[in-house]
Every structure is written in structure tokens, then in C-alpha cells.
Chain A
Amino acid sequence: MSHVVRRTATLLVSVVVASFVVFAFLAVLPGNAAEVALGTNATPAAVARLSREFGTDRPLLVQYADWAQGLLHGDFGTSYVTHEAIGPRIANRFAVTVWLVAGGMLVALLLALPAGVLAAAWHRTGRGALLSGLSQVGIAVPAFLAGILLVYAFAVRVGALPAGGYTPLAEDPQDWARHLVLPWLSLGLVQGAVLTRYVRSALLSVQRQDFMRTARAKGVRRWAALCRHGLPNAAIPVVTVLGLQLSNLLVGAIVVERVFVIPGLGDLLLRGVQDRDLLLVQGVVVVLVVAVLVVNLVTDLLYRVLDPRLRSR
């Protein structure tokens, strides 16, 4: 229990530090928000007036405290560029990205668990080498390239699925899924290839353990031993990688959203960069970094559920 508390406290500290770093990073940029908003022909007096209005003439720490306090209430501020509230925009898009990432993770798991087990079982055979080779190739393909290839195969050649766009789930679930199949596959295939290698290597090192030999010596069949004793013990390193991958997927989603024109967080972030809407960029980056930190925490806590040996420490 104390571990949970300690880890959660660490998370909170990390969140504060991370949000401050993001804030400070974007606040010290060349050309402050008022200058950007007014353009290059603005007079110094106009810039000073607008800075006062935005509150960007105050000390950095005061500005941060103000912004962070707003964040706690879900208030991400109002964009200097579009004059819209940023919080609701982020909230709308967050769900889209979560669906994208969750589906991608599911595809990766559905692919990697069987493929990894088979690759381990077929270790040092031709079929095993073929699977390893395939996963090696899969790792080398960036998600956006996988997306382009999938669009070519399924949207251009077969014509069965849309090449891009998005329909909200509440509007039409079937159309929603049709639009997300290719993005899910582009995220999932690549991460699945990475995961396959970890599942395989985790199983291979478990297979060398004494308890596996004992099980086999007692007459347990190879596959039964692998599933009964091998998989649970291989789960721990695999969960570590899963946590890392979830973070990768979150970032990969930024690019995949661009490929398929999906209105998620990544799309919002890129729009913010394009418009130099720094408050928006700041908000989205903080949400993404906090998501990564939370995923890390959950991964860490999951170890203890999976590995009873750790609980006593």
C-alpha cells in the first residue's frame, strides 16, 4: 500500500515538474505571444498593451501558477489566436485519440501474443526464423508508412475501406469502425512486430528456468508447460514493454492521425504548431506527457499484481 502512495506522490511531483518545463519552454520563446498575435508591424506600445491584457508581462512563476491553477479545474485558458477556450477542444479530441490508441494496442496484442509464442516454440527452426525475420521487417516500417501502404492496399486497390476521415462513434458506430480499421492496423502492426520479439525473448528465457525443466520432467507436455508456467512468468517483462509501447502509440497516433485525417489530439497539436498557438500546444503537450506518466505508473503498479514476489518488498 505504501508503495502505491509513494509512487502516486512521485507521479504528482513529476506532473508538476513536467508541466512547468513545458510551460517555461514555450514561454521563453523568441517573440512573445503578443508579438506573434500582432504580427511584425506592431508598435512596441501595442505589444506592451496586449502583453498586459494576456498577462504575459508578469513574472514567469506567477504566470505558471495562474495557468496550473486553471489546469486543475480543467481550464486550459483561451487561445490568443482563435479566441476559443482550449479545454473543451482538447476534451473533444482526447476521446478520438484514446479510441485510436486502444484499438492499436488491441491489434498489437492480438498479433504479438500468438506470433511471439509460436516464434519461441519454433525457436531454431525455419518457421521460427521466418517469424523473427517478419517481425524484424515490421519494426523497420514506421507507422505512417504502414498507413500509406494500407491505404494503397485497402482503399485504392480493394476499395473496401475509406482512405481517411472520421465519423463520431455516437453518430454511426459502423461507419466509425470502418474509418478506424486502417489506422488501428497501421499503429498495431508495427507495435505488434516490436512486441512479438519481446514475447519471444521473454518466453525463451523462461524456458531455460528450472521450473520449466521440472514440469517437463514430470511429464507435462511442451505446450501445456509453456502456457501454464511459461506465459505467466514471461508476462512481467512483457508488461514493461507494453507500458512503453502505450506511450509510443500515443505519440505514433499524432502521425497516424495526419495520414488518415483523423481529428484527434495530434491533429490539434499540429494545428497549434502551424498557427503558433502556443497556449494550445502547451495544453496538448501537457495532456500527452501526463498520459505517458500515468501509463508508467499503472505499469509499475501492475508488476506487483503480476509478481507476488515484489509485494513483500
Chain B
Amino acid sequence: MRSRATLVTGCLIVALVLAVAAVSMVWTPYDPNHVDAARQLAGAGGEHLLGTDQLGRDVASRLMVGARITVFAGVVAVGIALLAGVPMGVVAGMTGGWLSTVIMRVSDFLLAFPALLLAIMLAAVYGSGTLTAMVAIGIASAPGFARVSRAATLRVMTAEYIDAARLAKRGRVAIALRHVLPNIADIVIVQASVSFSTAILAEAALSYLGLGTTPPTPSWGRMLQESQDLLFSTPQLSLWPGLAVAATVLGLNLLGDGLRDRVDPALEGVR
């Protein structure tokens, strides 16, 4: 019962963020980058729903575009991690032997590189940008996917339907695509929701450091950085992007927990 509530709450929050991101593509209350010197630091309410920042830009509009950047960052990072990690894990799980050893050693090694550090290195070489940052986070998240899908593949390979498929002379690739992937999908999806929140946290941190999304594009991390100096005078400017990051990550974590309980009911209530 509790896990159902967790799942529903998580879904609602994530759906809200996705909806805001989608709407921001066609409509925002104001131009998020429009500088209005006459309306600096306007309070919430009135013409600007959440007020304006130190350059007179509409905070609500910037938050909405920030949601889009956040979703984009998460999709890119998780996409890369999925595409790199899952095939590695499936191949390692299906073949065993030296190939499996090599793949797992490489992923163990990558795990020792903290994601944020990899992103900072990439930024040092290629300059900062949302895409650069997310490629780094994606690469750093791939070993997690490799491990999870290898473990799941090892379990699937003992099933009778795999023996049946082998007897039917199906090729390895066919078995991987038609029997292994569909049966490990649930576990991979759980991993994806966890990685999504990690990616969002990393994007926010990198943008806060000035190594992620470049100005003037609004990103929640960047908005936090820009508002920090004004903490003494207008603290509410930090409140909104902070709330947005925390709520989104909370939603994704709840979603992940709820999904995990579905996939593996034995864990319910333990984690």
C-alpha cells in the first residue's frame, strides 16, 4: 500500500515537471531572457507571478525553461548510459569468460571516476555546455547499467525459455533481442529512474559551478548561483530554483522506489 502511494506521488511530480517542460517549448509568460531594467527584483504576485531577478527577467518563465533543460540533461545522460551500459551488461552476462571479465573490469575502473570529476575534466578540455556535461555524466553512469543488466541477464539465462530458444537454433543476437532484453527491461527501467535523478543533480551542480549550461539559457543550478549573492536582500530568488531541483529529484526517487517494489516485491518496505 505504501509503495503504491510512493509510486503515485513520484509519477505525479515527474509528470508535472515533464508537462512544464513541454509547455515551455510553446509558451512562457514572458521571454525568459528579456532584460527589463525598470523591473529589477520585483516581488512575487502582481504582473510577474514569481517576481523578477536582478536583471528584471521573469523568474517563472526562467523556471519553466529550466525544467526543459533539466529534462533534456536527464534524457541525454540516461540515454548514453543506457546505450553504452546495457549492451555491455547483456554481452557480459550472455558470453561469460574473458570478454565478461574485461567488460566488468572496465566498468569497475570507470566507477572509480566520480561523475562530476569526469564532467569537470571534459569541461576543461571542450569548454562548458549542457551537452558536454551530460555526455560525461552518461559515460560515468554506464557502469551502473552494465552491472545491473549483467546480473539480470545471468538470471534470465538460466530460464527454460532460453534453452528452448537455443534448441530452436536461434542466434545469439536474436536471443538477446527477443528474450533477454524484454525480460531485463523492468530492472533497467528502475536503474534509469535512479540515474535520471543523479544526472539532474549533476547538471544542477555543474551549472552552479559555471561548467554546465551556459548563459543566458536558464538552468536551475545557474539560477541558484546567480541568486546566491542576493541571499541577504532577496532570498526568495534562491527559493524557487532550489525547490524545483529538490522536488524533481524527490519525485524521481519516489518513482524509482515505487517501481523497484513492483519489480521485486520481496524488497518492499526494506529499502
Interface of A with B (CB < 8 Å)?
14, 17-18, 22, 25-26, 29-30, 123-124, 129, 136-137, 139-145, 148-149, 151-152, 156, 163, 197, 201, 204-205, 247-248, 250-251, 254-255, 258-259, 269-270, 272-273, 276, 278, 281, 285, 288-289, 292-293, 296
Contacts and interface: CB of A to CB of B under 8 A. Distances in A.
Contact of A123 (B112, B115, B269): B269
A14 B109 contact: yes
B246 A141 contact: yes
21 contacts: A18-B112, A124-B269, A140-B197, A140-B247, A140-B249, A142-B245, A144-B208, A145-B204, A145-B245, A152-B231, A152-B235, A163-B231, A205-B270, A254-B120, A255-B116, A255-B208, A278-B124, A281-B124, A289-B117, A292-B112, A292-B113
A276 B114 contact: no
Contacts of B115: 251
B271 A201 contact: yes
Contacts of B247: 140
Contacts of B238: 148, 152
Contacts of B201: 142
Contact of A142 (B120, B125, B205): B205
A250 to B, nearest CB: 7
A151 B227 CA distance: 13
A3 to B, nearest CB: 17
B121 interface: yes
B250 interface: yes
B116 A270 contact: no
Contact of B246 (A18, A137, A163): A137
Contacts of A248: 114
B124 A201 contact: no
B40 to A, nearest CB: 20
A276 B109 contact: no
B5 to A, nearest CB: 10
Nearest to A27: B125
Given A145-B246, A148-B224, A272-B124, A156 B271 contact: no
Given A151-B231, A296-B112, 15 more contacts: A136-B254, A139-B249, A140-B197, A140-B249, A140-B253, A141-B249, A144-B204, A145-B224, A156-B231, A197-B271, A251-B116, A254-B116, A259-B228, A289-B112, A292-B114
Contacts of A142: 201, 204-205, 245-246, 249
Contacts of A269: 120
Contacts of A278: 124-125
B69 interface: no
A222 B185 CA distance: 41
B169 to A, nearest CB: 41
